[in-house]
Amino acid sequence: MITQDGNHFPQRASFDTVVDMANEKRRVLIADSQLRSSSFGIKSSDKPEFSSAGRGVLAHALDESRFLLQHAAAAMQTLHEQISNTHSMVVLTSANGLVLKSLGDIDFLEKAAQVALAPGFDWSEKINGTNAIGTALREEQSMIVHGGEHFMNANKFLTCACAPISDPYGRLIGALDLTSDYRSFQQHTMALVKMSVQMIENHMFEDISSKGVVIHFHARAEFIGTLVDGIAVFSADGRFLSANRSAQFQLGLSFNALSAHTFSSLFGIPMSRLYALCRGTLTKLHSLCLYNGVTVSCRVDITSSGQFFTGQEILPKPAIDAASITREPLSPSLTPKSKLSTLRYLDTGDAQIAAVIQKLRLVRGRDIPIMILGETGTGKELMAQAIHGDSERSSAPFVCVNCASIPESLIESELFGYESGAFTGAREKGVIGKIQQANGGTLFLDEIGDMPRNLQARLLRVLQERRISPLGAGREIAVDISILCATNKNLKEMIACGEFRQDLYYRLNGLVVRLPALRERTDFKFVVSKIISSLSTYSKPVDLSDEVMEMFQRYQWPGNFRQLHNLLRTAVVMSGDTGTIERLHLPDDFLEEIAVLPCVDTFDIPAVTGALTNTKPAINPFANVANVADITKPAARLEEVTTLAIAQMLRQHKGNVSSAAKALGISRNTIYRKKHQLPADVWD
Ligand SMILES: Nc1ncnc2c1ncn2[C@@H]1O[C@H](COP(=O)(O)OP(=O)(O)OP(=O)(O)O)[C@@H](O)[C@H]1O
């Protein structure tokens, strides 16, 4: 028998025997780790070396871990909410043990700061000796390290449970850890961490699902679509691509062992038979027999284009999708020409978006550089992917360079690449730069406004001459790329201040399109329902209560789609089987912000008023605030409105934070967070 951790146990071991073996195994692993720690030259009395890795290293690690961070955010938040007020912290690290993100209780955060659980600190065994993060990463299995089991005395007040995280290709990419004061040790902590890791790993399948045939399976049909759903992905011709933890567990094979298998060797039928079985019945469950004799229920996700989906996409599926699936044979040999437009997926009923898509279609195939403008999270990158997906270049690479997240010192080598020995520390074989990687396809320069000034000239040359010279190469390489870029900065202002080259600007802006902010979109309700249905594909449909929809429409969504997506992801999980997202499923910080907004009948929000006419106004927290007229100007920004309301209430309560917070229905912390923005007279 193989557990979900990959541990091997004899088939007929009793439960007690299994527990004893697990404990014994943990003791052995801790003892091994203690020996390793000594061999690293660390002493238990040493003060931990808690010098932060530095902004450059952290920025690089954050950039490299974007995929992990993106998929871990919601699970971390949910775990954090589950353990709030238990003096604990949730910590996400890279595969090297560098803390990328931590969430925790304020009181414990202060204590934890002394042992540096903040981003940028290194918890590998080499630095910290035996500890759950370092040891779990070293052993590639979940670990509890409790109190005195920590190698360093300074860490002995902690109890930590950590589980490693693998990407859909079976590569270790990080770890999730829950750390508390050792006195608050809970038996179920490890289970919570493992469940969160399973959520993160399953969520990552969104990204790989478009690359193959996705099989969801479980011996119990009702578990399909839940956390323990087995997910395995195969290429169109049946080669194994990926499997989540539950699939590995059910199949009794590790990721590496599965790599030698095919669909038919595991599920007992050839791929062509699967296609025939699924024709016209994609949502139906099929019964298949695994190679080990276990019968499982399966659901298969396949798209008409020979590409496949998990149902987790955020984009609407056009009605013809389903129809063509039932009509056409699901043959892997379909040519890219039958591919549905990806731009069309983004056209969800907003007039501004429709106009943008129309313009983009007019320049399709002309390799005209396109500049996408819009606030953060408005979908610029998604639009860039859609432009590429609709172009003749769609079978070649789409390479994204985020100019803001690459440290300035690395951006040149990242873009242009280098040859072996180009500089000290360069990799032996050299590195192919992103521009060359995009050859034949599309290079997307995200956050172009953050491109360092000295590299702007080099980039301009590439755009003019379509040639690059990698560092240390002494030769030029021709490249054939289509250029897209995006920014939320005002490049014209940057040009006026001398921060952005005018000639580069004109090279990049063959066509400029601006994406509307979420609050301006007239298809708001539609996109909300689309996102919800993508998030709740496997459970029963989820709705928003009228009250929540009213709040959503009143809110300004400074983080746009990204913020909406994250909020809904957690809300869908929290709403469980109730089928409706209610106020109690929304995060406190959102409720606090919405509480200080005037209700809809006092505010004129252009894009949503039409949709709001029949909605119930929320209780207006401004009812007691003097001088409401100041803050109800349509142009007032969310941040200003919030600050002004807090200032007015503080004046009214003579600087008493508790009373003002109570009157506004927000927490004292929210007021303290805004302290630096408040005028001095509010405290008098
Ligand atoms: N039309 C849409 N419908 C649903 N979700 C969307 C839509 N557009 C974007 N998203 C989601 O919102 C998130 C942010 O999108 P994206 O990264 O494309 O935005 P961006 O404008 O490039 O952000 P930034 O400026 O911060 O880089 C992603 O998770 C994306 O899937």
Q: What is the reported pTM?
A: 0.47
Verify that 552 and 426 share a domain, yes or no: no
Average pLDDT over residues 661-675: 70
Distance 103 CA to ligand 1 centre (A): 24
- For 456-503, the pLDDT digits (tens) are 988 888 888 888 887 776 778 888 999 999 998 899 999 999 999 999
Task: Please give the pLDDT value at position 515.
Answer: 96
| From 62, 381, 552, mutation site for ligand 1 pocket: most ligand atoms within 8 A of C-beta | 381
Task: Please give the pLDDT value at position 209.
Answer: 65
Task: Encode 564-583: b = buried (16+ Cβ within 10 Å), e = exposed.
Answer: bbbbbbbbbbbbeeeeebee
Of the candidates 296, 327, 358, which is a domain's last residue? 327
Give the Cα separation of 29 and 42 in Å (integer): 18
Task: Please give the pLDDT value at position 673.
Answer: 67
Task: Please give the pLDDT value at position 13.
Answer: 43
Task: Please give the pLDDT value at position 423.
Answer: 52
Task: Please give the pLDDT value at position 637.
Answer: 52
Characterize the bridge pairing of strands 172-181 and 88-94.
antiparallel
- Where residue 535 sits, what CATH number does that domain have? 1.10.8.60
Task: Please give the pLDDT value at position 82.
Answer: 79
Task: Please give the pLDDT value at position 433.
Answer: 85
Average pLDDT, rounded, for the chain: 77
Q: Whose CA is closest to 601, among 528, 550, 665, 549? A: 550
- For residue 299, the cross-strand partners are 216
Residue 384 Cα: closest atom of ligand 1: 18
Residue at 681: amino acid letter: D
Count of Cβ atoms closer than 10 Å to residue 487 Cβ: 23
CB neighbour list of residue 578: distance below 8 Å, 6 or more residues apart: none
- 180 belongs to a structural domain: no
- For residue 418, the cross-strand partners are 431, 471
Tokens of 148: 């005195």
Give the Cα separation of 614 and 550 in Å (integer): 10
Of the candidates 514, 548, 578, which is a domain's last residue? 514
Task: Using the predicted structure, report yes or no on whether residue 621 has a pLDDT greater than 80.
Answer: no
The verdict on the CB of residue 62 being under 6 Å from ligand 1 is: no
Average pLDDT over residues 517-540: 80
Task: Using the predicted structure, report yes or no on whether residue 221 has a pLDDT greater than 50.
Answer: yes
Distance 565 CA to ligand 1 centre (A): 9
Verify that 497 and 541 share a domain, yes or no: no
- Where residue 360 sits, what CATH number does that domain have? 3.40.50.300
Which whole-number Å values give the CA distances from 238 to 109, 112, 510, 628, in the listed order?
49, 49, 43, 65
Which whole-number Å values give the CA distances from 63 to 164, 401, 420, in the listed order?
19, 10, 24
The pLDDT confidence band at residue 54, using thresholds 50, 70 and 90, is low
Give the Cα separation of 314 and 561 in Å (integer): 10
- 172 belongs to a structural domain: no
Tokens of 381: 């990158």
381-386 long-range contacts, CB within 8 A, separation 24+: 381/444, 381/446, 381/486, 382/315, 382/346, 383/346, 383/356, 383/513, 383/515, 384/442, 384/444, 384/446, 384/484, 384/486, 385/342, 385/444, 386/342, 386/343, 386/345, 386/346
Verify that 388 and 475 share a domain, yes or no: yes
Total structural domains within the chain: 4
- 149 belongs to a structural domain: yes
More confident position, 164 or 220: 164
Of the candidates 327, 352, 375, which is a domain's last residue? 327
Verify that 381 and 491 share a domain, yes or no: yes
Structural domain of residue 67, as residue ranges?
Answer: 15-101+109-161
Rg (Cα) of the chain, in Å, rounded? 27
Verify that 574 and 469 share a domain, yes or no: no
| Least confident window among 90-94, 303-307, 660-664 | 303-307
The verdict on the CB of residue 379 being under 6 Å from ligand 1 is: yes
| Least confident window among 23-37, 362-376, 409-423, 429-443 | 409-423
Task: Please give the pLDDT value at position 78.
Answer: 86
The verdict on the CB of residue 449 being under 6 Å from ligand 1 is: no
- For 300-343, the pLDDT digits (tens) are 886 433 333 332 333 222 222 222 222 222 222 222 333 445 78
